[in-house]
Amino acid sequence: MMTQEVGPTNPFGTLVGSLRQHAPSVTRLALDYQRPHDLRRATELLSVEGAQALGGGTDLLVTIREGLARPEQLVDLRGLPGIDTIQRTAGGGVRIGAAAGVAALAADQTIRERFPALAMACDSVGSPALRNMGTIAGSLCQRPRCWYFRSGIPCLKSTGSTCPAVDGQNRHLAILGGGPCHAVHGSDPAVALVALDATLLLEGPQGARSVPIAEFFVLPDPDPRRENVLLPGEFITAIELPHDSSGGRQRYTKVLHRGAWDFALASIAVTRRLDGGVRLVLGGVAPMPWRVNPSVEEDVASAPLADDDLDALADRALYDARPLSDNDYKATLARTLLRDAMAFAAA
């Protein structure tokens, strides 16, 4: 096993320079860095307590710097064969390797033609540099962006016993599915993948398993520290898009505060499948991509929609919305996005 003191001679030298600058109490950070070349070795390495999967590092290295993650061993999965490929499957779907780049997905011809909602969502992520470094699995497993959590203020997601955001800064937090933690999931691609009924292929100490993406993310109740169902040592190897989700009409729309290079205040993925089915999934408003009640999707699929119908369906879709003191505007944004997406799907 290779043990490295993080410093200028390894890939994380910049991180450590920054650590020393921002956290004077941290004088030395010892990290193992491993880059396995086969799945068995990757599984072995990740089974060790303190090990953590590394993709492009755009979130993990930041959370280490912020003191929110303290892995002892980073297992860089980008050396695994086929881990960054995007391939058609025999059944007419597509298999995306876990370390496929967000930019590569946005540019891939097959994804653009057959799963455009995913291409659009990937294209909307952050900045060009983030899209080039970030991987699709890293995007799904990124930690939430709540200001308190990211600033190291104790809360339910870290070492605290209450959520200071409830009576504090909650402008960017959830209006659906929140409580006791109200942080939203930040991934744009995740929203599109839920609308496309993707399946995640996982590997871990207990063996391989597959999980529909809708069952991958979890709400903060009962355990506000968890965001997904990954077991200790388990990691994503690939994502499969089914043939049934390809084609038809698809779109991803994102509302930003600054106009570019930012997380969604609210977003929506909409698909009208070739079999007539409709999927509507909201982003930026809940602790996980938020699929609208299927009964609303069915009504959108089954009828021509007048303005009144769109209003009534949007109200039904947001029936469970519970804005906090300062984020009622998200309900208005979500309503507008829903009306627009439903009109698109019904046209």
Joined tokens for residue 242: 């089914």
Which residues does residue 241 pair with via DSSP β-bridges, in sequence order?
A: 94
Question: Cβ 106 to ligand SF4, closest distance in Å?
Answer: 29
Q: Is 215 helix (H, G, I), strand (E, B) or coil?
A: helix
Residue 60 touching ligand FAD (CB under 6 A): yes
Q: Which does 155 bind (CB under 5 to 8 A by kind): ligand FAD, ligand SF4, none?
A: ligand SF4
Joined tokens for residue 108: 């891939």
Choose, by CB under 6 A, the member of 98, 100, 106, 305 that binds ligand FAD: 98
| Nearest of 200, 272, 210, 277 to residue 241 by alpha carbon | 200
Name every residue whose Cβ is closer than 8 Å to that of residue 323 and which is 6 or more positions away in sequence.
Answer: 175, 330, 331
Choose, by CB under 6 A, the member of 31, 86, 103, 141 that binds ligand FAD: 141
Residue 236 touching ligand FAD (CB under 6 A): yes
CB nearer ligand FAD, residue 51 or residue 313: 51
Looking at residues 135 to 174 of the shown chain, list those that interact with ligand SF4 (rule: CB under 6 A): 144, 146, 148-149, 155-157, 163-165, 173
| Nearest of 169, 119, 113, 179 to residue 145 by alpha carbon | 169
Burial 227-262 (b: 16+ CB within 10 A, else e): bbebeebbbbbbbbbeebbbebebbbbbbeeeeeee
Site string for ligand SF4, 182-221 (x = CB under 6 A): xx--------------------------------------
Site string for ligand FAD, 169-208 (x = CB under 6 A): -----------------xxx--------------------
C-alpha 270: how far from chain center? 17
Which residues does residue 280 pair with via DSSP β-bridges, in sequence order?
A: 270
In the chain, the N- to C-terminal Cα span, in Å, equals 59
Q: Which does 253 bind (CB under 5 to 8 A by kind): ligand SF4, ligand FAD, none?
A: none
CB nearer ligand FAD, residue 142 or residue 246: 142
Choose, by CB under 6 A, the member of 93, 97, 126, 289 that binds ligand FAD: 126
Interacting residues with ligand SF4 (CB under 6 A): 144, 146, 148-149, 155-157, 163-165, 173, 181-183, 224
